[in-house]
Amino acid sequence: MEPKLIGKGKWLKLMEIPFKTKENKIDKWELVERAFHKEVDAVEMIAFIKQTNELILISQLRYPVNKHAIEFPAGLVDEGESPSQAALRELKEETGFIGNIISVSKPVAYEPAMTNSHCAFVHMEIDLELEENKNPKQNLQDDEDIKVYKIPINKLEEELKNFEEKGFVIDGKLAAMSFGFSLNLKK
């Protein structure tokens, strides 16, 4: 029972995986996988500014939902790169900031019912006293249009509601973090 390729694009493949049901019948599960799948496909940077305790977030148009999404800076891990190297590169490209890595999570499944893609969360600190961070300049690819936001962590829930009211969609990983913070703040 081998997986079957249904369709392939530049970045993604649609696969069909046969499996046995509990009644011992053969059924099929559809999934999306990255064209170049590895143990960690992508990184998500949870980057805080050291001096102000602000969280760096970005917005960009996400075509599947046809809205601008508020999300963590993130990106794919290139061939031959470690998650740490990808995080440093992507943070610089998307936000212009140079960060210091505090920790890197183990691989985390994005949405295990739909894809086999895994990411690593990279906790980073940005020091505004570094010369490189005094006037950060993005280095975006031609198809990227990314805006950078600095959100006080104690106002995250409120700011995300403001973004939603303006028509933005909030990335699920960021929403989960905000929800967790709000539970802790209500203690």
Stated pTM of the model: 0.90
Torsion sign over Cα 174, 144, 54, 130: positive
pLDDT of residue 142: 83
Is residue 175 pLDDT above 80, yes or no?
Answer: yes
Identify the band that residue 186 occupies on the pLDDT scale cut at 50, 70 and 90. Answer: low
Q: Spell out the domain ranges in the chain.
A: 1-35, 39-185
DSSP run (H or E) holding 36: none
pLDDT of residue 9: 93
What would the CATH number be for the domain defined by 39-185? 3.90.79.10
Q: pLDDT > 90: what percent of the chain?
A: 83
Q: Which of 135, 155, 138 lies closest to 147 in space, CA to CA?
A: 138
Q: What is the DSSP letter of 78?
A: P
Residues present in the chain in total: 187
pLDDT of residue 187: 57
* pLDDT tens sequence across 3-46: 899 999 998 999 999 999 999 999 999 999 988 878 999 999 99
* pLDDT tens sequence across 123-171: 999 999 999 999 999 988 888 789 999 999 999 999 999 999 999 999 9
CB-based contact 47:55 (threshold 8 Å): yes
CB-based contact 34:41 (threshold 8 Å): yes
pLDDT of residue 143: 82
pLDDT of residue 20: 92
* pLDDT tens sequence across 87-131: 999 999 999 999 999 999 999 998 999 999 999 999 999 999 999
